[in-house]
């Protein structure tokens, strides 16, 4: 039995299958963790979802910002594009979208010593609180008012968590931190504009969320993706697995049992 974690797939079906072959993934006995952004930009998002749904009992998924964008497009809240349109036009679109809506934003396994969220876990959140917040968002996304809730979430950004603030603002922050976070300021405010590598950053006030001052220590190692310009990063406290496959770089898998790292090169993932 093996347990592997893989970073952002973003519709790059062929490299994904090549990587599964390279790690000898067997869905009958192995488990696959996927750090979100399953679709969008790469041209084979439908094939990715078809594969994942067929093997859903062997897969742990957290939702990323591109997965939320797909759900929003399904609800008519966001424009479609050529890479997600085949999913929306599929006879099984409702099945796949409802499966995505049922996925969490945080996955935790104390026995393995890992937690996973697409963009990470906010510096000001304890792990237990993050789990509760994930469950709340998951319930909202599955509920009968999911479309209106998502409309409210997407109407504007919230870069700071106010425990005494309104519920909508709190949930906007929680959703954004789980799916879009990269940098934060010393006062705890998140910055959603900067997308580059920390080594290229010219603002001394901004820090990667995992290096934020006064970050609450997490008892598990955090697996995340979302940050292709950061690339592969493996520390005692965090692991970034977004290595830019959709940008013709690599797709990366990490063994959660022995910390082996396996990669495949990616080419021609972007739809012309």
Position 73 in a domain: yes
Percent of all residues in the chain with a pLDDT value above 70, rounded to a whole number: 99
Q: What is the pLDDT of residue 36?
A: 95
CA 175 – CA 157 distance, rounded (Å): 10
Q: Where are the alpha helices (DSSP H) in 126-184?
A: 127-142, 146-154, 167-180
Position 235 in a domain: yes
The answer on pLDDT for 272 being more than 50 is: no
Give the pTM: 0.95
CA 150 – CA 245 distance, rounded (Å): 28
The answer on pLDDT for 271 being more than 70 is: no
- Residue 10 sits in a domain of what CATH number? 3.60.21.10
Q: What does the CA dihedral 241, 211, 110, 260 come to, rounded to 10 degrees? A: 40
The pLDDT mean for the chain works out to 95
User: Are the CB atoms for 10 and 41 separated by under 8 Å?
Assistant: yes
Position 272 in a domain: no
Q: What is the pLDDT of residue 264?
A: 96
Position 239 in a domain: yes
The answer on pLDDT for 202 being more than 90 is: no
User: Are the CB atoms for 85 and 158 separated by under 8 Å?
Assistant: no
Residues 6 or more apart in contact with residue 95 via CB below 8 angstroms: 53
Cα 32 → chain centroid: 14
Q: Which two structure tokens, joined as six digits, stand for 183? A: 């940098």
pLDDT tens-digit series, residues 131-152: 999 999 999 999 999 999 999 9
CA 266 – CA 43 distance, rounded (Å): 13
Chain position carrying tokens 């504009």: 193
Position 178 in a domain: yes
Radius of gyration, CA atoms only, the chain: 17
Q: What is the pLDDT of residue 146?
A: 97
Name the domain count of the chain: 1
- Write out the residue range of the structural domain in which residue 195 sits: 3-265
Section 98-103 average pLDDT: 98
Position 270 in a domain: no
Q: What is the pLDDT of residue 165?
A: 87
Q: What is the pLDDT of residue 222?
A: 98
- Cβ neighbours, 10 Å, residue 261: 13
Instruction: State whether residue 44 is helix, strand or coil.
Output: coil
pLDDT tens-digit series, residues 213-250: 989 999 999 999 999 999 999 999 999 999 999 999 99
Position 60 in a domain: yes
Position 271 in a domain: no
Q: Where are the alpha helices (DSSP H) in the chain?
A: 13-22, 45-54, 65-74, 85-89, 93-101, 127-142, 146-154, 167-180
């Amino acid at each position: 039995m093996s347990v592997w974690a893989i970073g952002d797939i973003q519709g790059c079906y062929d490299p994904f299958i090549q990587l599964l072959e390279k790690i000898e993934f067997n869905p009958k006995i192995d488990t696959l963790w996927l750090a979100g952004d399953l679709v969008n930009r790469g041209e084979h998002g439908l094939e990715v979802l078809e594969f994942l749904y067929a093997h859903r009992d062997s897969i742990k998924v957290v939702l990323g910002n591109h997965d939320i964008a797909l759900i929003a497009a399904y609800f008519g809240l966001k424009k479609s594009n050529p890479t997600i349109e085949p999913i929306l036009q599929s006879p099984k679109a409702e099945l796949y979208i409802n499966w995505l809506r049922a996925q969490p934003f945080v996955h935790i396994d104390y026995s393995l010593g890992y937690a996973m969220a697409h963009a990470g876990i906010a510096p000001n959140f304890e792990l237990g609180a993050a789990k509760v917040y994930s469950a709340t968002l998951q319930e909202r996304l599955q509920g009968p008012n999911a479309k209106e809730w998502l409309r409210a979430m997407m109407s504007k950004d919230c870069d700071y968590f106010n425990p005494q603030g309104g519920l909508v603002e709190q949930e906007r922050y929680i959703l954004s931190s789980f799916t879009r976070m990269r940098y934060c300021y010393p006062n705890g405010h998140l910055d959603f504009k900067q997308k580059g590598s920390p080594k290229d950053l010219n603002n001394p006030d901004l820090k990667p969320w995992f290096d934020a001052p006064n970050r609450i220590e997490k008892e598990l190692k955090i697996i995340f993706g979302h940050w292709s310009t950061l690339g592969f990063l493996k520390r005692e406290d965090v692991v970034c697995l977004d290595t830019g496959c959709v940008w013709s770089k690599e797709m990366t898998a990490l063994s959660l049992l022995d910390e082996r790292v396996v990669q495949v090169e990616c080419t021609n993932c972007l739809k012309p």
